[in-house]
Structure 1
Amino acid sequence: MNQSKSTYSHIIKTEAKRLGFLSCGISKAEFLEDEAPRLEKWLNNNRHGEMQYMENHFDKRLDPTKLVEGSKSVISLLLNYFPSEIQNENSYKLSKYAYGTDYHFVIKDKLKSLLRFIQNEIGEVNGRAFVDSAPVLDKAWAAKSGLGWIGKHSNLLTQQVGSFYFIAELIVDLELEYDTPVTDHCGTCTACIDACPTEAIIQPYVVDGSKCISYLTIELKENIPTSFKGKLDDWMFGCDVCQDVCPWNRFSKSHNEPLFNPHPELLDMTKKDWDEITEDTFKKVFKKSPVKRTKYSGLKRNINFIKNNI
């Protein structure tokens, strides 16, 4: 391990690009001082609704050295999921990230390949891969690593490609050259705040998760409160409104990951097809999809709520 930190960083970023990642940024594994009071306030105000898991592992969520022993660097990676084809207009809506194979599987494989590459090229490096399924503040690390800024809708934004991408990390016990954050380019724009159907963006940079359509259609296990009657805007799984209206997403380009391509039947289904969807069709169309998370019963609940509460 006698090469320079900048050489290591360069070869890691080159390999990340070869594996299909949009971009790669690196930051020092340390306590997220700025995020701590924000997260605490958000939780205290119950902005997480029934997502109890957000209350767990508070310290680990803010300090990767408590999550991965001996960690020195957080390697943040972005993977594009913007589709080349969108669902037909006479249909209930599905968030674009859910069109193809569950991203957890796709990204985990790429992260494991990157870690193997680092170990082969650099030597004995220990680390763990994370894809939004552990107490890691993905967006905060990506912003700290210079991959974009956190927009008023609380998603990561970049001037080059907007925000339709997944964020993942490798936390490793290797010192590397660290990137610096970029500046915020939201300016005076309030498009996302104005467009949110449920007014979940309660102020710039603060989202009440319990009002978000993604939360209501995926995370919420109870019945959707009647106070959201007529406000789901036909979204049956997830919601892209705040991203769709963002001017920076004019620069989104379609992904080139075959596994993110939708099941052939998905794009042609109409509202009538969705109303009559059977469990067998659900299993076929969403075989390895993130939509399985809401289960057949959850998707039917969402569709019925939209249909009966216009």
Structure 2
Amino acid sequence: MNKIHHTKFIKDSAEQLGFHYCGIAKAVKLDDDARRLEQWLQQGMHGNMHYMENYFDLRTDPRKLVPGAKSVITLLLNYFPSKQQEQDIPKISKYAYGKDYHEMIREKLNSLLELIRQNIGDINGRGFVDSAPVLERSWAVRSGAGWIGKNGNLITKQQGSFFFIATLITDLDLIADDAFAKDYCGSCRKCIDHCPTNAIQANKVIDGSRCISYFTIELKDAIIPAEMQGKFEHWMFGCDICQDVCPWNRFSKPTEEIAFTPIPEILNLSTKEWESMSEEAFRKTFKYSPLKRAKYKGLQRNLKFIQTTKL
């Protein structure tokens, strides 16, 4: 009865905190995922993201992240914006329209942990938001949230794929949900056919070193490879092409999370206004934005690259 009560309490608490999905999986080593990740890294598909080579054992075994771990809780938070960018301006990925999600979701995870400890007991647990060595999409599938699409994103039947994934690993023994067993992509190839850099390969393999998001956010080199010239389709920060064309995202609904309210400048700044923006103005305007990850110089590099393409 305690497992039933504890499981229900956690799911109810997650909903009250604003998460639109909460699922649970047993904490086990992800052997199949470990083999796929190892092959992916060996093929160099992570590009210059060398941090992905670190903590391999931690990524594939939650019990090494949280000693005595018994349950992995997956939480989803919708970020689909209520407003879209104006036409013919530098494009920015929708996840970056509002405030930096890392800090906001981390606060929610800490609140959930505190509620669990207050109502269940002194349990051990750690929350993670995509910057830690956790295979969050694999755990999401195991928790029943959805399936991995051909574009590598977690897709749900109810709301598509525009959401953040958070993970809470705990030593609390809970009732696990059934894993999501079916793939609803079928014969659809829209994400593959529309990817301008051919980053989406067969069998749900994503060549991260060819992704527009990799070049515009992760790549810190002063120059973007010339072979990518003319392929960015005006994306300055990140890329949503494979999600925008996905039929399942017709079910996306605007988020109710105030923190994700679009920063006005993101919705309407023209190319000329971006070009003339000073570094000081950038830091002030985007102090709490994910855009700061690419930094001022990175965005100016990206902007120059896509403008050269247009010329």
Query: Normalised by the shorter chain, which TM-score bucket?
Result: over 0.9
Matched-pair contact (CA < 8 Å) for 1:87–1:267? yes
What RMSD, in angstroms, separates the aligned Cα atoms of the two structures?
A: 0.9
Secondary structure at the aligned position of 1:21 is classed as coil
Q: Match for residue 283 of structure 1?
A: 283
**What amino acid is the match of 1:229?**
Q
The alignment-based identity, stated in percent, is: 57
Name the CA distance, whole Å, in 2 between partners of 1:99 and 1:91.
Answer: 14
Q: TM-score, normalised by structure 2?
A: 0.97
Which consecutive residues of structure 1, in runs of 5 or more, have no partner in the other structure? Answer: none
Query: Residue 121 of structure 1: CA displacement?
Result: 1.1
Matched-pair contact (CA < 8 Å) for 1:88–1:270? no
Q: Match for residue 300 of structure 1?
A: 300
Q: Can you list the C-alpha shifts for 1:233-261, whole angstroms capped at 9, x where unaligned?
A: 11110000000000000000000111111
Secondary structure at the aligned position of 1:309 is classed as helix
Query: Residue 281 of structure 1: CA displacement?
Result: 2.5
Secondary structure at the aligned position of 2:25 is classed as strand
**What amino acid is the match of 1:215?**
Y
Name the CA distance, whole Å, in 1 between partners of 2:250 and 2:157.
Answer: 10
Aligned residues: 308
1:173-192 matches, within 5 Å, as 173-182=171-180, 183-192=182-191
In the TM superposition, structure 1's runs of 4+ consecutive aligned residues that sit over 3 Å from their partners are: none
Secondary structure at the aligned position of 1:169 is classed as strand
Matched-pair contact (CA < 8 Å) for 1:149–1:181? no
Name the CA distance, whole Å, in 2 between partners of 1:308 and 1:57.
Answer: 39
Q: Match for residue 220 of structure 1?
A: 219
Matched-pair contact (CA < 8 Å) for 2:199–2:207? yes
Matched-pair contact (CA < 8 Å) for 2:66–2:124? no
Query: Residue 262 of structure 1: CA displacement?
Result: 1.9
**What amino acid is the match of 2:48?**
E
Q: Match for residue 193 of structure 2?
A: 194
Q: Match for residue 17 of structure 1?
A: 15
1:11-50 matches, within 5 Å, as 11-50=9-48
Query: Residue 286 of structure 1: CA displacement?
Result: 1.1
Name the CA distance, whole Å, in 1 between partners of 2:227 and 2:83.
Answer: 33
1:1-150 matches, within 5 Å, as 3-150=1-148
**What amino acid is the match of 2:296?**
Y
Query: Residue 265 of structure 1: CA displacement?
Result: 2.8
**What amino acid is the match of 1:287?**
K
Which consecutive residues of structure 2, in runs of 5 or more, have no partner in the other structure? Answer: none
Matched-pair contact (CA < 8 Å) for 1:82–1:96? yes
Query: Residue 280 of structure 1: CA displacement?
Result: 2.5
